[in-house]
């Protein structure tokens, strides 16, 4: 289980629940499949194993959880076509135009009739809680999906004191300085991809891939006022990732040093393999995340509180 993206939420109060207590609270939000007339269902499923496995997988002091979202697929083109046919039929019969309120009611009836026959689409979303370091880490590049999981967790726990991580220096300003001055921290390697955005109202964007970022054309963009809002980085030859100006981490790769460490540990079955990978991943991120905050002037505890 290796996360591919990191959306980070910081606990503002200590997380004190044990794995057993967390399991008990999540049980009230366990996933149930959509009913015939339900457009969507959301809930917790076991992160590993069969349906009767625990909802919380504990390893190395961290708690892995997994949410499942099921949505009924109703193509808008199908609904609109049926709506147009129904409206045309009514207007021809009555000789008057169908008003918006009536049209909306007809649309609702069509959706109600189609839902029992609609196909379902499911998505899993993994996250873990690290009580020791105070992080909720979600394997998602979407702020909406992250908030959806956090909201469901808050509903089950009745309280979830988390906030976005805050630092003392703007990440965009720091990454721009690294590129402009050609000087970056010893444990950080700038790779060959970035995204620049102008700070004026137009906000022109330049995306660079497989590009030497020390080239003159890149510095020309910086000189006219563009800032780095995304940059591909390597940390200590252990992690590769794209970092954005909100501290979101995309396209995360656990590099050879980490993968070799995981391969050196034998696992008898799927559950043991999951346990090993989760333990190594969470330990690696426990070392990296404090360093991530340090790179941008350290954590802003006043803003956090």
Which of 116, 132, 148 is where one domain is finished?
Answer: 116
Residue 158 placed within a domain: yes
Residue 281 placed within a domain: yes
91 close to 145: Cβ distance less than 8 angstroms: no
The residue range of the domain holding 263 is 171-304
Residue 294 placed within a domain: yes
Asked if residue 280 and residue 223 are part of one domain, the reply reads: yes
Asked if residue 128 and residue 47 are part of one domain, the reply reads: yes
72 close to 119: Cβ distance less than 8 angstroms: yes
Asked if residue 68 and residue 31 are part of one domain, the reply reads: yes
Return the sign of the alpha-carbon dihedral for residues 14, 17, 18, 23: negative
Which DSSP string corresponds to 32-76? -PPPTT-SEEEEEE-SSSSTTS-S-EEETTEEEEEEEEEEEE--H
Closest CA to 235 of 278, 293, 165: 293
Query: Can you give the pLDDT at residue 156?
Result: 97
The count of structural domains within the chain is: 3
How far apart are the C-alpha atoms of 166 and 144, rounded to whole Å?
Answer: 19
Q: How far is CA 193 from CA 214, 218, 232, 244, 292, in A?
A: 11, 11, 5, 12, 19
Asked if residue 33 and residue 14 are part of one domain, the reply reads: yes
Side-chain-side CA neighbours of 17 within 13 Å: the count stands at 19
How far apart are the C-alpha atoms of 219 and 225, rounded to whole Å?
Answer: 10
Asked if residue 24 and residue 146 are part of one domain, the reply reads: yes
Query: Can you give the pLDDT at residue 199?
Result: 86
Asked if residue 151 and residue 261 are part of one domain, the reply reads: no
Asked if residue 243 and residue 156 are part of one domain, the reply reads: no
Q: Buried b vs exposed e over 22-53: b needs ≥16 C-beta within 10 Å?
A: bbebbeebebeebeeeeeebbbbbbbbeeeee
Asked if residue 181 and residue 83 are part of one domain, the reply reads: no
Query: Can you give the pLDDT at residue 90?
Result: 81
Return the sign of the alpha-carbon dihedral for residues 248, 251, 255, 259: positive
Q: Max CA-CA distance within the chain?
A: 77
304 close to 12: Cβ distance less than 8 angstroms: yes
Closest CA to 147 of 165, 164, 129, 128: 164
Asked if residue 89 and residue 124 are part of one domain, the reply reads: no
Structure letter (DSSP) for residue 98: P
Closest CA to 25 of 124, 129, 122: 129
Residue 252 placed within a domain: yes
Q: Residue 158: which residues within 8 A CB-CB, separation 6 or more?
A: none
1 close to 281: Cβ distance less than 8 angstroms: yes
Residue 1 placed within a domain: no
Query: Can you give the pLDDT at residue 304?
Result: 60
Asked if residue 156 and residue 20 are part of one domain, the reply reads: yes
Q: Reduced to 3 states, what is the DSSP secondary structure of residue 159?
A: coil
Asked if residue 255 and residue 232 are part of one domain, the reply reads: yes
61-80 pLDDT, tens digit each: 999 999 999 987 777 777 78
Asked if residue 265 and residue 227 are part of one domain, the reply reads: yes
Q: Please list the alpha-helical segments (H only) found in the chain.
A: 19-27, 76-94, 100-114, 143-157, 171-181, 216-223, 256-263, 270-295, 301-304
Residue 43 placed within a domain: yes
Residues of the chain with pLDDT under 50: none
Q: Residue 84: which residues within 8 A CB-CB, separation 6 or more?
A: none
């Amino acid at each position: 289980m290796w996360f591919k993206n990191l959306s980070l939420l910081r606990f503002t109060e200590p997380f004190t629940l044990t794995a057993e207590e967390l399991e008990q609270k999540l049980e009230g939000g366990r996933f149930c499949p959509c009913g015939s007339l339900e457009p969507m269902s959301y809930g917790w499923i076991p992160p590993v194993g069969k349906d009767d496995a625990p909802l919380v997988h504990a390893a190395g002091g961290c708690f892995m959880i997994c949410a499942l979202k099921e949505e009924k697929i109703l193509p808008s083109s199908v609904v609109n076509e049926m709506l147009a046919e129904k409206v045309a039929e009514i207007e021809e019969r009555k000789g008057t135009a169908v008003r918006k309120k009536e049209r909306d009611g007809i649309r609702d009836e069509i959706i109600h009739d189609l839902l029992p026959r609609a196909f379902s689409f499911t998505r899993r979303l993994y996250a873990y809680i690290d009580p020791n370091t105070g992080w909720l880490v979600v394997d998602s590049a979407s702020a909406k999906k992250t908030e959806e999981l956090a909201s469901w967790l808050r509903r089950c726990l009745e309280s979830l004191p988390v906030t976005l991580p805050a630092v003392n220096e703007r990440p965009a300003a720091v990454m721009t300085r690294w590129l402009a001055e050609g000087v970056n921290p010893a444990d950080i390697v700038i790779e060959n991809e970035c995204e620049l955005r102008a700070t004026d109202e137009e906000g022109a964007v330049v995306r660079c891939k497989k590009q030497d970022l020390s080239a003159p054309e890149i510095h020309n963009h910086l000189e006219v006022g563009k800032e780095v809002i995304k940059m591909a980085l390597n940390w200590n030859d252990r992690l590769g990732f794209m970092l954005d100006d909100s501290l979101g981490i995309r396209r995360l790769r656990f590099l050879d040093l980490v993968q070799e460490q995981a391969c050196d540990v034998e696992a008898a079955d799927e559950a043991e393999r999951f346990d090993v990978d989760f333990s190594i991943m969470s330990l690696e991120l426990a070392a990296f995340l404090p360093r991530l905050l340090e790179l941008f002037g350290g954590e802003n505890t006043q803003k956090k509180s």
